[in-house]
Amino acid sequence: MLNAQQRHITQQCAPRGPPPSTANFFVNERFPAVDSPAVRRDHLLRNTNSLRIEQHRRHALANPRVVVIGAGIVGASLAEEITARGWTDLTVLDRGPLFTTGGSTSHAPGLVFQTNPSKTMTEFARYTTEKFGALEHPEGWVFNRVGGLEVATTRERWRDLHRKAGWARSWGIEGRLLDPAECAALHPLLDPERILGGFHTPTDGLAKAVRAAAAQARLATARGAQFRGHQHVRGIVERGGRVAGVETADGIVPADIVVCAAGFWGAELAKKVGLVLPLVPMAHQYAKTGPIAPLAGRNTELGEASLPILRHQDRDLYFREHVDRIGIGYYGHRPMPIDPADLPEPSAAASMPSMLPFTEDDFGPAWHESVELLPALGDSKVEEGFNGIFSFTPDGFSIMGEHRELAGFWVAEAVWVTHSAGVARATAEWIVDGTPGTDVHECDLYRFEDVARSAEFIRETSAQAFVEVYDIIHPHQYRTALRGLRTSPFHSRQAELGAYFFEGGGWERPAWYEANAELAQRLRAAGVPFPERDEWSGRFWSPISIAEAHWTRERVAMYDMTPLTRYELSGAGALALLQRLTTNNLDKSVGSVTYTLLLDENGGIRSDLTVARLGRHLFQVGANGPLDFDWFTRHLPDDGSVTLRDITGGTCCVGVWGPAARDLVQPLCSDDISHAAFKYFRALRTHLGAIPVTMLRVSYVGELGWEIYTSAEYGGALWDLLWTAGRAHEVIAAGRIAFNSLRIEKGYRAWGTDMTPEHSPAAAGLDFAVRMDKADFIGKDALKHSAPEKTLHSIVFDDPAAVVLGKEPVYVGDTCAGYVTSAGYSATIGRCIAYAWLPAAVEPGAVVEAEYLGQRHTATVHAEPVVDPAMARIRR
């Protein structure tokens, strides 16, 4: 029974007569259809009935009550997207007045640069431009497609703009590199003498963020949604592990679904329900000049701007017009983290809670540099400015997803205006349909390792993200702060061998070992080629890695596999769970190892795993990271019949691989490990010397050998045992770069890079791991519909010196037909090999071109795998 207070609120929020008719100033219900894979997937999804049924089972509700916290650009977009999918009982609450609420959206200058190293973020941005472009508002434009221009004043930036032009090509954003004169023709305030060139993207532009929020709110309201200002949500109401509503000063607003879109205040709200949102509110300076003479009469008050939005990233600056003035944004100042608790309530704030007074001293260099680039500013000065607050995250990505321990509590946080519509669409799909139609793994709430959810880590890395926001970031660049947090038991041995350590998932990982420099010299003298690299591709790289890869194929090497995420699944229900979650058949004998996939409900690849059956009810799963743990946890049966444990940290693993691997290991083991006795893709629990180990005959590098696991306390002894025994076989320790190049030669995909939830098994060439004759597994139904247009191919470069690093566009003839995912120099064939998504019809033998920093390199599509298709190296 509801109490009086609740009844009152329920009535307030209850469906409220016929929805108001659509006012005529906003456009048709849905803006023009977009022909993107995500949209097609969406269409597919809607036709898949079983998914709907699953969804309804999830919520046991047809039209649940949704409360969105926050009426900024994200909350308003969410309301539009969710109501468009038929969930119309939706209330948006904001603590401030509508729609200039006092949040970040209220004063965002609204520059939308779409091109991003992330394909997903680029797609989010593209959708925002398309959606906003079709919105209307009585006061004027919502999106002004003035185009975007980024200029280079250093050689390094000019090279980087070539790389950026590559991403734009790869992700389908129109763009062109221009010489200084062309830049100045587009943006006459620019001093062409100051720049080396620019990158122009005509579909970028300015978003009027508050109007965009209001226009989307009106669309949502027309379908039945309610927007209520001056409603400060102070608590989240839970009942039986589900969200039940939110609490405001007026009482409780009941809800089945609550979406936290509270901008930089979101972390505080999430904390109330035990959720860490790794975001830090930071101040960022924005200023406006007085009138600029050359702009006089150029723009109408209504139009505001006609020059492209401009970025000068070498000096952490961006610019836009405000009629006859210039707005300047600056990221060059010290990081200024803010504690939201120190900010006033909207009603008490003189201006807005997310606007702090301008700190002029911090802006000093910005003004000087702005005048250098745009000399016409010199006759004017900064007339107003503020320090505006918005969210930064450790990796620069947004945070999306549902609370694992509180069903129905969702977040859509740390979102720029630029990505807002895309994030809102994916979140709405996720909430209503059960699965987002875009690959959101980079933004997933559960992508963070435990260590990355500490306050210290969040603070340090988010500050770093602020400092680096306009920096040129090398794809292999690694974090320098907070190092040494996770080390394998082999770490001191590796350091002695001169390991050059990268960081990944908090782990210290050897990239190569200086101890192998001598081997490299020896091989070079013997005629093994070591092609030179250009400065860019030579960073975070060493020719020693070529020697390490070569030696793995020639002799034997030890690889530290400790950071490979692994779980133990045990209990009477473990097999059934694995059968339900993965594509391959796992009901095999004890001692079997199986390569298998996790799919989402759309049939997209969520992960690829190896599953070793170590007992009737005991499985060891080799996985890809925290998202797998999240997926397993969400699907654990309620009856306690399955126990899931992350055993990564308590165990360690050495991969011993190469033709001499058996000669090295057999003498240490009293069990027979011959090919006949210990077959490929089998597991054995035994001892090496006195050390208890689990050996899996699996090799991601495609060689004879084993992954050898033991618990952490034996790690040092295991390494020493293998190392000492290996002397006679000239064993080396080898690093991640060699490892990566070998797995690419062998045709093995890396999840998250080569394939993501965007891709079906057939598209990724992994149909062999899918058993359609098996009983139901998640994603199976969707596979029946899939006929991929693009498939993953191996391409081999013709020039031995040609390299790519990832994300470069690939051309078939003059048409950009796809893009590179990952690449490595193959010591075995003496060429760089890359994976690329290309039209399915492209056949082995076809010649393509990949564009690296503006230069095209020819490559030939190769049958897979490039090295050892007959498996002769492994099965012996």
User: For binding to ligand FAD (CB under 6 A), which residues are involved?
Assistant: 69-75, 93-96, 101-105, 108-111, 209, 231-233, 261-263, 265, 269, 284, 286, 329, 354, 388-390, 415-418
- 97/231 Cα distance (integer angstroms): 9
CB of 471 to ligand FAD, least distance (A): 18
Of 421 and 817, nearer to ligand FAD (C-beta) is 421
Whether residue 137 contacts residue 449, with contact meaning beta carbons closer than 8 Å, is answered with no
766 burial (CB, 10 Å; 0-12 / 13-18 / 19+) is: buried
- 229/100 Cα distance (integer angstroms): 10
| Among ligand FAD, ligand THG, none, residue 748 binds (CB under 5-8 Å by kind) | ligand THG
Of 424 and 599, nearer to ligand FAD (C-beta) is 424
CB of 200 to ligand THG, least distance (A): 41
Asked if 673 interacts with ligand THG (CB under 6 A), we say no
Asked if 610 interacts with ligand THG (CB under 6 A), we say yes
| Among ligand THG, ligand FAD, none, residue 72 binds (CB under 5-8 Å by kind) | ligand FAD
Sheet holding 618-622, edge to edge: 593-599, 605-615, 618-622, 566-570, 643-646
Compute CA distances 482 → 414, 459, 506, 650, 710, whole Å.
Answer: 23, 11, 9, 21, 27
CB of 781 to ligand THG, least distance (A): 23
Interface with ligand THG by CB under 6 A: which range of 58-66, 520-528, 695-703, 798-806?
A: 695-703
Of 96 and 809, nearer to ligand FAD (C-beta) is 96
Of 83 and 570, nearer to ligand THG (C-beta) is 570
Compute CA distances 137 → 27, 102, 132, 252, whole Å.
Answer: 9, 20, 10, 33
- 502/500 Cα distance (integer angstroms): 7
Of 309 and 561, nearer to ligand THG (C-beta) is 561
Window 707-746: contact mask with ligand THG (x via CB under 6 A): x---------------------------------------
Whether residue 502 contacts residue 540, with contact meaning beta carbons closer than 8 Å, is answered with yes
Total residues contacting ligand THG by CB under 6 A comes to 14
CB of 253 to ligand FAD, least distance (A): 11
Of all residues in the shown chain, the one whose CB is closest to ligand THG is 622
Of 697 and 780, nearer to ligand THG (C-beta) is 697
φ, ψ of residue 869 to 5 degrees: the values are -65, -25
- 645/565 Cα distance (integer angstroms): 11
Asked if 698 interacts with ligand THG (CB under 6 A), we say yes
Of 426 and 708, nearer to ligand THG (C-beta) is 708
Q: Which amino acid is at 355?
A: M
φ, ψ of residue 418 to 5 degrees: the values are -50, -40
CB of 609 to ligand THG, least distance (A): 5
CA 95, 100, 106, 112 dihedral sign is positive
Classified as helix, coil or strand, 283 is strand
Catalytic annotation present for 617 = no
CA 479, 484, 486, 489 dihedral sign is positive
Of 50 and 753, nearer to ligand THG (C-beta) is 753
Gap between the terminal Cα atoms of the chain? 71
Asked if 706 interacts with ligand THG (CB under 6 A), we say no
Catalytic annotation present for 43 = no
Exposure string of 632-651, with b = 16+ CB inside 10 Å and e = fewer, is: beeebeeeeebebebebbeb
Interface with ligand THG by CB under 6 A: which range of 64-72, 189-197, 604-612, 729-737?
A: 604-612
CB of 608 to ligand THG, least distance (A): 5
Catalytic residue among 187, 200, 284, 759: 284
DSSP letter, residue 783:
H
| Among ligand THG, ligand FAD, none, residue 69 binds (CB under 5-8 Å by kind) | ligand FAD
| Among ligand FAD, ligand THG, none, residue 595 binds (CB under 5-8 Å by kind) | ligand THG
Asked if 696 interacts with ligand THG (CB under 6 A), we say yes
Of 466 and 595, nearer to ligand THG (C-beta) is 595
Q: From the list 243, 309, 609, 656, which residue makes contact with ligand THG (rule: CB under 6 A)?
A: 609
| Continuous segment of H or E residues that includes residue 599 | strand 593-599
- 723/608 Cα distance (integer angstroms): 31
| Among ligand FAD, ligand THG, none, residue 233 binds (CB under 5-8 Å by kind) | ligand FAD
Of 418 and 610, nearer to ligand THG (C-beta) is 610
| Among ligand FAD, ligand THG, none, residue 124 binds (CB under 5-8 Å by kind) | none
- 485/649 Cα distance (integer angstroms): 12
CB of 754 to ligand THG, least distance (A): 10
Sheet holding 251-254, edge to edge: 235-239, 242-248, 251-254
CB of 443 to ligand THG, least distance (A): 22
Of 101 and 741, nearer to ligand THG (C-beta) is 741
Whether residue 219 contacts residue 126, with contact meaning beta carbons closer than 8 Å, is answered with no
Asked if 622 interacts with ligand THG (CB under 6 A), we say yes
- 102/352 Cα distance (integer angstroms): 5
Catalytic residue among 324, 608, 628, 754: 608
Asked if 96 interacts with ligand THG (CB under 6 A), we say no
Catalytic annotation present for 608 = yes
Asked if 849 interacts with ligand THG (CB under 6 A), we say no
CB of 197 to ligand FAD, least distance (A): 23
Whether residue 500 contacts residue 514, with contact meaning beta carbons closer than 8 Å, is answered with yes
Window 528-567: contact mask with ligand THG (x via CB under 6 A): ------------------------------------x---
On the CB side of 500, CA atoms within 13 Å amount to 21
Q: Which two tokens stand for residue 512?
A: 């190569």
CB of 725 to ligand THG, least distance (A): 23
Angle at 13 between CA 9 and CA 16, to 5 degrees: 130
| Among ligand FAD, ligand THG, none, residue 681 binds (CB under 5-8 Å by kind) | ligand THG
Q: Which amino acid is at 321?
A: E
Closest listed residue to residue 314, CA positions, set 126, 476, 111, 471: 471
Tokens 């969400």 belong to residue: 634
Helix axes 119-133, 155-171, angle to 10 degrees: 70
| Among ligand THG, ligand FAD, none, residue 758 binds (CB under 5-8 Å by kind) | none
Classified as helix, coil or strand, 386 is strand
Catalytic residue among 127, 286, 318, 470: 318
Of 204 and 707, nearer to ligand THG (C-beta) is 707
What are the residue ranges of helices labelled H in 223-312? 266-272
CB of 709 to ligand THG, least distance (A): 9
Q: Which two tokens stand for residue 426?
A: 């994916």
Q: Which two tokens stand for residue 254?
A: 């009941």
| Active-site annotation, residues | 284, 318, 608
Residues of the shown chain interacting with ligand THG in the complex, contacts defined by CB under 6 A: 564, 595, 608-610, 622-624, 681, 696, 698, 700, 707, 748
